[in-house]
Amino acid sequence: MRPGLNHDSAAGVVVLKSVATSPHHGVLGIARSLGRLGVQVHIASPDRAAETRSRFARRWFAWTLEDGGESLARLEAIADELGGGQVLVPVDDSAAAFVDRHADSLGDRFAFPRQPRDLVRTLSSKRALHDLCRSHEVPTPHSAFPESEAVAEAYARDIGYPVVVKRAEGWRPVRRANAPSVIIAHDPAALRRAYADLNGRDGPNAVLQEYIPGDARSIWMFNGYFDEGSDCLFHATGQKIRQAPPHTGATTLGVCRANAEVATTTKRLFKALGYRGIVDLGYRFDARDGAYKLLDVNPRIGSTFRLFATRDGVDVLRCLYRDLSGQPVRSSAPEDGRTWLVEDLDLLSSLRYHRAGTLSMRQWLSSMRGVDELAWYARDDLAPAAALIRFRAAQTVRRRPQRRTTS
């Protein structure tokens, strides 16, 4: 076994989630993927959301990401309580940055891939990633990082609307906490709102990118695991069929499709960077010049990872666990055409596509046939789906406008 794992017994896993926003199907996927193999999966997060109700989630620990040393001390205490030697799996940008920042301290109690210095922060930053792509000759959208609203408007006038506005660094606070991380601005007013929402207390936190036209078929994903020598032991590619929010958000319905160019480009880049561990990337095919352009990198497990599972259940998480445990990692690929669905988010998103006139009832029914895996419902683990239904019902009640009473 690698340093950090408990040699006396099979290592468990601690899933680290820093944001208390909504139920997290990625965390649930982790619990089920390893829990079905008999691995003890524990969740450390600010809230006891629907995913913690899984029969495969052994324990839940209250953990929040705070300034100072409280978060580190709490995580170290969790490791001591569990006996040490746990595999640590962060599931969001802030948690990944936290683990990378405290790698030396956490490495004595947890097992996780150790990255070259500052690589996680570089890959998570849209500005640094843009520069990295340029230096390694990887196609990426033309981007700007305006320091003022006036400069942002001048850039948009120069390249033309629509323009894509993104949160440049996901771990930095912004003016409107619940603002979308990706916005397509079609006019100056929308650009000003998006830019203002993404301003942080420590300065602007927005990147502007050229808009690449195309439908869902132009959006490509790469999911992979790189070992200690930065060799790719497992990879898969696929496409987003639907997203939430539509056209800009996370995958709600995805399909596995082989794409040799995306795979080759990614493996070349991450070998050169010395990357280790799980990575989740987004590309967009630009029909104007025939290039697959790298949009985003998640230097961690993505919530879509179960889309890319093989027929016998192998995924990037199982590769990570086996590799850190000193076990051989089988290299295979998922079936071409495999589909995966996030039930609640896809239903809401489909309604929006339908209202926009881009999804007919017949098309929706056709897309739902033969889905290979659902994010929430599973016959052997019903509690999370039931908890999700209760959460959505309560959310609907809270949003319902109250009727006025007259005397």
Find the CATH number of the domain harbouring 23.
Answer: 3.40.50.20
38, exposed or middle or buried, with CB in 10 Å at 0-12, 13-18, 19+? exposed
Residue 134 neighbours by CB distance under 10 Å: 12
- 27 within some domain: yes
Tally of CB atoms within 10 A around 258: 12
Question: What does the pLDDT look like over 183-216, one tens digit per residue?
Answer: 999 999 999 999 988 887 778 888 999 999 988 8
Rounded CA-CA distance 107/131 in Å is 30
Residues 85 and 175 in one domain: no
User: Do 352 and 306 fall into the same domain?
Assistant: yes
Residue 5 lies in a domain: no
Domain boundary among 188, 210, 232: 210
What would the mean pLDDT of 359-385 be, rounded to a whole number? Answer: 96
Tokens matching residue 39: 């691995």
Whichever domain contains 205, its CATH number is 3.30.1490.20
Q: Which of 19-28, 56-65, 337-346 has the lowest mean pLDDT?
A: 19-28
pLDDT at position 401: 64
Query: DSSP label at 234?
Result: E
Domain membership flag for residue 233: yes
Are residues 153 and 45 both part of a single domain? Answer: no
Whether residue 221 sits in one domain with residue 266: yes
Together in a domain, 34 and 87: yes
Closest by CA to 206, choosing from 229, 246, 174, is: 174
Domain boundary among 185, 210, 235: 210
In a domain, 134, yes or no: no
Residue-averaged pLDDT of the chain? 91
Whether residue 156 is predicted with pLDDT greater than 90 in this model: the reply is yes
Backbone region of residue 230 per phi and psi (left: phi > 0; alpha: psi in -120 to 50; beta: other values): left
For 46-103, strand residue ranges (E) read 57-62, 86-90
Q: Which of 160, 192, 210 lies at the terminal end of a domain, its last residue?
A: 210
Q: Which of 77-81, 178-182, 253-257, 308-312 has the lowest mean pLDDT?
A: 178-182
Pairing mode, strands 203-204 and 199-200: antiparallel
Same domain, 242 and 173: no
Same domain membership, residue 346 and residue 233: yes
Query: Does residue 175 surpass a pLDDT of 60?
Result: yes
List the beta bridge partners of residue 14: 42, 88
User: Is the residue at 118 inside a domain?
Assistant: no
Query: Based on the domain organization, do 267 and 339 belong to the same domain?
Result: yes
* Over residues 277-293, mean pLDDT: 97
Q: What are residue 243's DSSP bridge partners? A: 251
Does residue 9 surpass a pLDDT of 60?
Answer: no
Name which of 96, 103, 82, 98 is nearest 12 in CA terms. 82
Question: For residue 406, what pLDDT is reported?
Answer: 43
- Residue 5: pLDDT over 60: no
Spell out the residues 6+ positions from residue 42 whose beta carbon is closer than 8 angstroms to its own. 12, 13, 14, 15, 57, 58, 59, 60, 61, 78, 82, 86
Residue 123 within any structural domain of the chain = no
Supply the pTM of this predicted model. 0.91
Residue 1 has pLDDT above 70, yes or no: no
- In this structure, the answer to whether residues 228 and 352 fall within a common structural domain is yes
Q: Is the pLDDT of residue 407 over 70?
A: no
User: What is the bridge-based pairing of β-strands 41-45 and 57-62?
Assistant: parallel
Strand 339-341 to 373-374 pairing: parallel
90 located within any domain:
yes
pLDDT, tens digit (0-9, with 9 covering 90-100), for 224-264 = 999 999 999 999 999 999 999 888 889 999 999 999 999 99
Gap between the terminal Cα atoms of the chain: 74
Quick one: pLDDT at residue 330?
82
Residue 223, pLDDT > 80, answer yes
In terms of domains, do 359 and 238 share one?
A: yes
Average pLDDT over residues 307-327: 95
Q: List pLDDT tens digits, range 86-142.
A: 999 999 989 999 999 999 999 999 999 999 989 999 999 999 999 999 999 999 999
Same domain, yes or no, for 199 and 230?
no
On whether both 290 and 224 belong to a single domain, the answer is: yes
Q: How many domains does the chain have?
A: 3
* Domain-embedded: residue 386: no
Round to whole Å and give the CA distance between 103 and 383: 34
User: What residue numbers bound the domain in which 334 lies?
Assistant: 216-374
User: What is the domain-level CATH number for residue 231?
Assistant: 3.30.470.20
